[in-house]
Structure 1
Amino acid sequence: MTDRVACVDIGSTWTKAALVELPGGRLLGTRQAPTTHDDVVAGVLAATAGWDAPVRACSSAGGGLRLAVVGYEELISAEAGHRAALSAGARVVHVAAGRLDAGALQELADAAPDVVLLVGGTDGGEAGVLRHNAGILASAAPLQGPGASMRVPGGSGVLRRAVPVVLAGNAAVRDEVHAVLAAAGVPVTAADNVLPDIGRLAPESARAAIREVFLRHVIGGDRLSTDPRLRQWVRAVTPDAVLDGVAALAGLRAGADVPGVLVLDVGGTTTDVHCVPVADAEQSALQRSAVGVPARRRTVEGDLGVQSSADALRAAAAAEGLPAPGGDALALGEAAAVVALRRHLRSEAAYGPGGASARGVGLVVLSGGVFRHADPGAVQAVVDRVAADRGGAGGVLAGTEVVVDRRYVLAAAGLLATDAPAAAAGLLGELLVS
């Protein structure tokens, strides 16, 4: 590894770059450039011009990874698949449960996913729905190769191309289902069952498969760029990299009274909430893996953004009974923060009383350009108003230390966390004293 590296986040609106010294992780400089949607490599080159350092990157350009989940029963298999998808940094654009028919396949086509996560049944359990859904996807797939569109029998829509499938259902029929899809020309990757037994969630194999499919088909395809350097640079979906950074930050705070960390990342298109809370005593006693409560959690809100999703954000705020946000970015960011935190806490309720993030968080980090570029006093006013929110979001910020990731180091730290942990720790140390 060289003595410095350029860590780049290719966002939907901006491409952000951090030049990091190795091995200690000193931040040498930061830059940003508009994301160039006709070819995102141009934006990366603009953001890193003159640095003469190798690039490693994450990407959420084009809305990130659009994933659809097809499962057996919405509250069991499809929910398990949904959580596995979120843990992989995907934006879930559609969930279908039960036996697919022409109407359900049409809805799937309309959602235009990049990847389909096909799940269903515990290992050795019910297999009929998984077999049926694989057969439907196979019958809708083209036989002429991966560049063609998927036609919907009895419907008017088509998927833009042969959509890759990650198969993570009943292991007893995995080989059989894989063969059906592969014979029809569907790019299919097998993974372990996300729900091998009732009450036991095992998302890691599916998460790894989704990440690999993202790198191979989305980054390695021609949607973002035909430049081969992009595939060499990109290691992860941006939310996945940020969550790795959040986990490293929580580890760095292990000696704090409440070491858990929650990050609120408000972007131009989405708002993501990442959380690595302190393990609840009840959950620890029950063994987290047995009750399906992941140690690292995330919610991705595709309709909450301060630029391209601003109209949807205003509608979401109105649905929550909030005052209409003003036109400036910070007001929109405040609305996104409240709605995203409320939704995150509602999703946490699905884990039961021991799953609530707010009970194990000692540090909240605000990320995103709307906070980075704002006056500190204005940001503090936003924090105070969100902390006063009575709809649930205030419980996270009230009385909790809040910092702003002004130099945008979380994604960079996540990109370095696996093979350069000392550098990741150095970057995060700068965040804690900023």
Structure 2
Amino acid sequence: MEKIISIDIGSTFTKGALFERQATMLRPVQRACVPTTTAHLAEGFQKCIGMLTGSNEIPDNCRLVYSSSAKGGLGIVAIGAVPELTLKMAKDAACSAGGKIQSVFAYKLTPEDIEAINSLRPDIILFTGGTDGGNETIVRHNLQMLENIAANIPVIFAANRSLRSAAEKLLAKHQLHIIENVLPELNSPNPEPAQEKIRELFLKQIVTGKGLDELVKSTGQTPVPTPYSMLEFVKVIADCEESPSEFCIIDMGGATTDFYSRTRRELDSDCVITRGLPEPNIKRTVEGDVGMRICADAAIESDSRFIDCKLEDYSLSRKQLNSYLKNFKNEPSYLPQNDNESRLEELLAAVCLRTAAVRHCGRRRTVYTITGPTAVQTGKNLRRVSTIIGTGGFLAQADDNILKNTFAGAVSANPEEEILLPEQPKFFADKEYLLPLLANTARIAPDAAAATALNKLTLRE
């Protein structure tokens, strides 16, 4: 009987499972989980192998698949001309390829923007702007400004092809990668070349140092970026007959909170018009500033009002919250030790979940025309989503009320618009935290991996 070993090297924990391949399912035979050995990632990997097999070797009858989140994904700065067009394409391409957006810059870059980019020290700059043969003024200006960024930051040029020669000349001293335009024509998105280039650079980055290069040599394969592996798995699940027609998966990790959605492109009524580029049926966003450990400090700053209200509900203080967060500095795998810390952990998870959900979904507002009121929608409508699946340490065990209250209480900062969050979803938990591991196995046995994932979900009553 064929066996598959799947390992995911996360920012906080390294997880593994040994699966037996059966007719239509994958049966988990053994599990392993150890704190990620950040100084030398191969150590945690080998510990998992030992726990799964009883030795340091992979048996001949086992196939290995593994992934790495590499500090939560590559940090990317996206530059574009128009926020609703090329810049949106840049953000979508970055997120779907395994990156996390550190910052975005629209229209003409300023000296202050360049200073900010250099301070951010991104892993990649994704440069977009203009359709092919279209706007050149803003793109040329931004290329000239980019001459002043640090030369060691890779730049992916995915803008108006008419300015490729200018890019080669102006950025000759930089690590320049020229690819096809992300938006060659209006309403004709082309994210795939950018996604592929980001994944290529991702792999080069994550296998350099910290022991991953050793794993590549010993296993004969490079790790797949965890976010990309999960996105591809969502596509596999969507094609499964047992899959709900519209669903969301939320993967809450130590460094990021990743939000995946599968919906259909339908409007609620003829009285709704959409603005901006069409949303993909399957979409991923990653929030690099909201995570349960590595980015916990940033997470609590993302919604201070919500944090203060929850602290009051729990009869806890900011001082107690800050004291709890200090535990993560030296020990990212730290877990709550008492009731108060459990409540603070719940609060941290709630703000991560709320922020990720609100940023992922679309908005709708009413405008008045000569024919009467009309609803204008931007972004993705999640109202009809029937199923929300939570994975990741906290969400795998979360109480149903926490999830319901987090979604029900989310409102827009703009009183004239509504947030298009799921209205009456059912909540399911990946209690065994198998989804990232099954995502790896989907490269070998896609149908069995998807069937197993859906079979293992637990309904939160």
Q: What are the residue-to-residue correspondences of 1:208-247 with 2, within 5 Å?
A: 208-216=196-204, 218-222=205-209, 225-227=212-214, 229=216, 233-247=221-235
SS at match of 2:67: strand
Offset of 1:396 from its aligned partner?
A: 4.7
Q: What are the residue-to-residue correspondences of 1:33-432 with 2, within 5 Å?
A: 33-49=34-50, 50-51=52-53, 52=58, 53-137=62-146, 139-140=147-148, 150=150, 162-174=152-164, 176-178=166-168, 180-181=170-171, 183-184=172-173, 186-216=174-204, 218-222=205-209, 225-227=212-214, 229=216, 233-253=221-241, 256=244, 259-280=245-266, 291-320=277-306, 323-325=309-311, 327-328=341-342, 329-346=345-362, 353=377, 355-372=379-396, 374=397, 379-389=399-409, 391=411, 396=421, 399-432=424-457
SS at match of 2:29: strand
- In 2, the alpha carbon distance for the partners of 1:348 and 1:38 equals 46
TM-score with structure 1 length normalisation?
0.80
Offset of 1:114 from its aligned partner?
A: 0.8
SS at match of 2:361: helix
Q: Are residue 18 (structure 1) and residue 17 (structure 2) matched?
A: yes
Report if the CA contact (8 A) 1:388-1:394 is conserved: no
Report if the CA contact (8 A) 2:363-2:379 is conserved: no
The code of the aligned residue for 1:59 comes to: S
Compare CA radii of gyration and give the structure with the larger one.
Answer: 2
Report if the CA contact (8 A) 2:363-2:377 is conserved: no
Answer with 203-212 or 311-320: which moved more.
Answer: 311-320
CA deviation vs aligned residue, 1:229-270 (integer Å, no higher than 9, x gap): 2895444332222222222222225675xx111012222222
CA deviation vs aligned residue, 1:312-335 (integer Å, no higher than 9, x gap): 322323245762356422332223
- In 1, the alpha carbon distance for the partners of 2:177 and 2:441 equals 27
Offset of 1:48 from its aligned partner?
A: 2.3
Report if the CA contact (8 A) 2:260-2:285 is conserved: yes
SS at match of 1:116: strand
Offset of 1:13 from its aligned partner?
A: 0.8
Answer with 335-344 or 390-399: which moved more.
Answer: 390-399
| RMSD after superposition | 3.4
SS at match of 1:227: helix
SS at match of 1:61: coil
Q: Per the alignment, do residues 261 and 192 of structure 1 end up closer, same or farther by CA in structure 2, a change over 3 Å counting? A: same
Report if the CA contact (8 A) 2:363-2:419 is conserved: no
Report if the CA contact (8 A) 1:215-1:236 is conserved: yes
Offset of 1:77 from its aligned partner?
A: 2.3
- In 2, the alpha carbon distance for the partners of 1:388 and 1:292 equals 26
The code of the aligned residue for 1:5 comes to: I
Unaligned runs of 5+ in 1: 142-149, 152-161
- 4+ runs deviating over 4 angstroms: 223-226, 230-235, 253-256, 346-349, 392-398
Q: Per the alignment, do residues 416 and 189 of structure 1 end up closer, same or farther by CA in structure 2, a change over 3 Å counting? A: farther
Q: Per the alignment, do residues 365 and 176 of structure 1 end up closer, same or farther by CA in structure 2, a change over 3 Å counting? A: same
Report if the CA contact (8 A) 1:167-1:178 is conserved: no
- In 1, the alpha carbon distance for the partners of 2:33 and 2:66 equals 13
Answer with 259-268 or 240-249: which moved more.
Answer: 240-249
Q: Per the alignment, do residues 164 and 42 of structure 1 end up closer, same or farther by CA in structure 2, a change over 3 Å counting? A: same
- In 2, the alpha carbon distance for the partners of 1:54 and 1:175 equals 46
Report if the CA contact (8 A) 1:320-1:339 is conserved: no
SS at match of 2:285: strand
CA deviation vs aligned residue, 1:86-126 (integer Å, no higher than 9, x gap): 22121100212344454322211111111111111101112
- In 2, the alpha carbon distance for the partners of 1:313 and 1:191 equals 34
SS at match of 1:292: coil
- In 2, the alpha carbon distance for the partners of 1:163 and 1:365 equals 37
Identity, % of aligned positions: 26
**In proportion to residue count, which structure has more strand?**
2
Q: Per the alignment, do residues 224 and 189 of structure 1 end up closer, same or farther by CA in structure 2, a change over 3 Å counting? A: farther
Report if the CA contact (8 A) 1:117-1:166 is conserved: yes
Report if the CA contact (8 A) 1:306-1:332 is conserved: yes
Offset of 1:35 from its aligned partner?
A: 0.9
